[in-house]
Structures are given as structure tokens and as C-alpha cells.
Amino acid sequence: MSEIKRVGVAHRWCAAASFGRIAFIGGHTARETRGLTVTEQTAEVLRLLDQTLAEIGCTKADILGAQIILSNMSMAAEMNEVWDAWVAPGHPPARACVGAELGKGLAVEITATAAVRNQEASLDGLV
Amino acid sequence: MSEIKRVGVAHRWCAAASFGRIAFIGGHTARETRGLTVTEQTAEVLRLLDQTLAEIGCTKADILGAQIILSNMSMAAEMNEVWDAWVAPGHPPARACVGAELGKGLAVEITATAAVRNQEASLDGLV
Amino acid sequence: MSEIKRVGVAHRWCAAASFGRIAFIGGHTARETRGLTVTEQTAEVLRLLDQTLAEIGCTKADILGAQIILSNMSMAAEMNEVWDAWVAPGHPPARACVGAELGKGLAVEITATAAVRNQEASLDGLV
């Protein structure tokens, strides 16, 4: 039976939790670019997301679903420009984008689900 | 090992991505009824959702979870009237409904997760 | 082949739907503490979430992802105080927290996904 694997574990949350062949990735937000433009924050958030994906054995081409929260939908075009340059060609996720209130100074938050396709999991006869 | 199957693929997103027996369906919003009432938009969004579900081999009875975003929660009663007439009796999804900012002219956006129960996947010894 | 199991089934929604080894838990909101403080509502919502998890054979240590919606992000510190005391030490979920409009009198809504690790499902050779 598969076990839950968590990476980036703090008391309050983890960065991602995988179970068998599915991973749930928590809300990623800017650290160094907090308070800066949505363009800069989106670039950092996607870099952080790439790092978390790598820690659970995934790449951006394995993302199944993504939810993007913008602090204001007027920033959608700028966010999308960074997203479009980042997304794995031919492997874009099912995506939703809405505007909602984020923590102070944050312009964008991204959560995702991903397929885990490493060998260890495949031995489980799983997904 | 299962592969990721994506339908409705554009550069930026896909309509749905399935992996093994689980599918993640992106935010569906009105096309023809954009700018019209929430009642009309909800009806169109649910028709589009039915189409996407069909493309991945699912029906509305296979929906596990759904998230409904309204541009204003005061529209909840009107949205629910259309939803209640649409939902598969006895097979309603785990649902959440919140109010958030959507793209211009959009009253409602729906995302979902669904169980994929077609034969091909069952041969994987999967879910 | 696994079947979908739904608990807390109403016409419009269910409290949670599990399929194989994955469960999707709908938005949980206050019932008795609606209109009261976010501290009181969070405590009740987490109790209700514990109940739903138990009904599908899970505990809070099995939560993979959680989304917390606050009606106002200024309530985050109070919500987190209750959350921190509740979360299973060493087993926190991938989490996202945003501010959005909720139903009248509601301060917090929590949705989640969880790993189902009971025996029956493991016999499926699943996750």
C-alpha cells in the first residue's frame, strides 16, 4: 500500500503531498518578490513550483490541474505572458483563474495537482 | 503505466486532463452567453461541462468534486436552480461555492474532478 | 473496479465522494456557529471535517490538500491559531488560503482531498 509522501513540511502545511501516483501541491506565493509586480511574482512562483515538482519527482509536463488566484483580475494579461512562456508545450494543465484576496503584498498564488510517474510508484500497480 | 490524456488542448490550458482513473477539469465559463444572466450562463457552462466530460469518457454522475465560483454570491439561488435541475439524482458531487472576481462579463465558473470508469483504464488494475 | 462512495448525500451536493484511494471533500462551513467569530466557526468547521473524514474511513493525518476560504483575510491569524492546534503533527496538508465571498454570516469554508487507506480499497491493488 502506498504511503503519503510530504515535502516542504512545516507545522501548518506542506509544499506538496503525494499519494501513489497523484500529488497535491499547495498554494505557492512569492517570497523574494513579494510586493513587486505580478510579472516578477509570477516568474518566482513558477520557479518555486518547478522546485516543488522536482522534489516529488515531477515536472511541469505532469501537471494535471492548476488554479491561479490573482489579487486583481486586471493582472491576468501580465500573468498569462509569464505563464505562456513557462507552460510545457503540448502539456498544459486544466486551469482556472480567479481574482480573490491574497496575503499582503501578494499578487498571485498558484496551486496544482500532478501525475507522479516515477518507477517506485509504478511498482504498486497503481495509476 | 497510465499516460496523461488531455482534451481541449490550447497553448495556455486544456479543458481536462485525465490520469488513470482520475480526471481534472479546468474552469468552464460561458462563451455564447457571456454578459447575459447567471441563469443563462450556468445552463451553458453545464452544457460545456457535459461535453468535456463526454470527451474524457465520463458523465455528470462521475463527478467527485466541483467548485463553483460566482462573480457575486447574490446569484447563488439562480445558479442553484439550474444546478439542481442538472445534477445526476443520487450522484451529486462534493461541492464548494464561493464568490470571487471572474473575467469580464462572466457570472459563473465551474471546475471539477471526475472518476474515469472506462474499460481501458480498468485494465490497468488501477482505481 | 472501484465504485464511487458518497457520504452526506443531499440533492444538491454530498459531503464527500471517494473513488478508490482518493476522496474529495466538499466545502464545510459552520452550522451552529454561523454568524459568530472566525475562531468559533473554524473550530466547528474542523469538527465537521473530522466527522466527514471518519465517515469515509479517514483521519486528518490522511488529508493531502486543503483549501481554506476566509470571508476576509484579516481573519487569517485567528483561523491559523485554531488550525495549528488541530492539524496532525508531522502530517500537514498542502494548503492554500484565500479571501473570497462566502454565504451570509460565514467566516470560513474548508475543502479538502484525502488518501483513503482502508483495507477494502487496498484489495483493489490501487493506490
Residue of B nearest to A124 (CA): B126
Contacts of B91 (CB under 8 A, 6+ apart): B60, B61, B62, B63, C4, C6
A15-41: pLDDT as tens digits: 999 999 999 999 999 999 999 999 999
Average pLDDT per consecutive 10 residues, chain B (127 residues; last block may be shorter): 91 97 97 98 98 97 98 98 98 98 98 85 47
Contacts of A15 in chain C (CB under 8 A): 94
Q: Which pLDDT belongs to residue A120? A: 58
Mean pLDDT to the nearest integer, A31-55 = 98
Q: Which pLDDT belongs to residue B120? A: 58
C-beta atoms of B26 and A73 within 8 A: no
* Residue B47 touches partner C, C-beta closer than 8 Å: no
Backbone φ and ψ for A125, nearest 5 degrees, come out as: 70, 30
To the nearest whole Å, the CA of C94 is away from the closest chain A CA by 4
Residue of A nearest to C76 (CA): A103
Chain C interface mutation, best of B18, B21, B58, B64, highest count of C Cβ atoms under 10 Å: B64
* Residue C77 touches partner B, C-beta closer than 8 Å: no
Please report where in the chains the cell 500532478 appears, as a residue.
Answer: A114
* Sheet of strand A22-28, all strands in order from the earlier edge strand to the far edge: A4-7, A16-19, A22-28, A108-115, A63-70, A94-99
Neighbours of chain A (3+ CB pairs under 8 A): B, C
The minimal CB distance from B101 to the residues A92, A94, A100 is found for A100
DSSP SS3 for C57: coil
Interatomic CA distance for residues B62 and B114, integer angstroms: 5
- Taking the CB of residue B90, how many other CB atoms lie within 10 A of it? 10
Which H or E element spans position A28? strand A22-28
Neighbours of chain B (3+ CB pairs under 8 A): A, C
C-beta atoms of B21 and A117 within 8 A: no
Q: What is the pLDDT along chain C (127 residues), one digit of tens a residue?
A: 579 999 999 999 999 999 999 999 999 999 999 999 999 999 999 999 999 999 999 999 999 999 999 999 999 999 999 999 999 999 999 999 999 999 999 999 999 999 998 745 444 444 5
Domains and CATH numbers, chain A: 4-122 (3.30.1330.40)
Which H or E element spans position A99? strand A94-99
Beta-strand relationship, A94-99 and A108-115:
unpaired
* Residue B39 touches partner C, C-beta closer than 8 Å: no
Please state the ipTM of this predicted complex. Answer: 0.93
pTM more than 0.90: yes
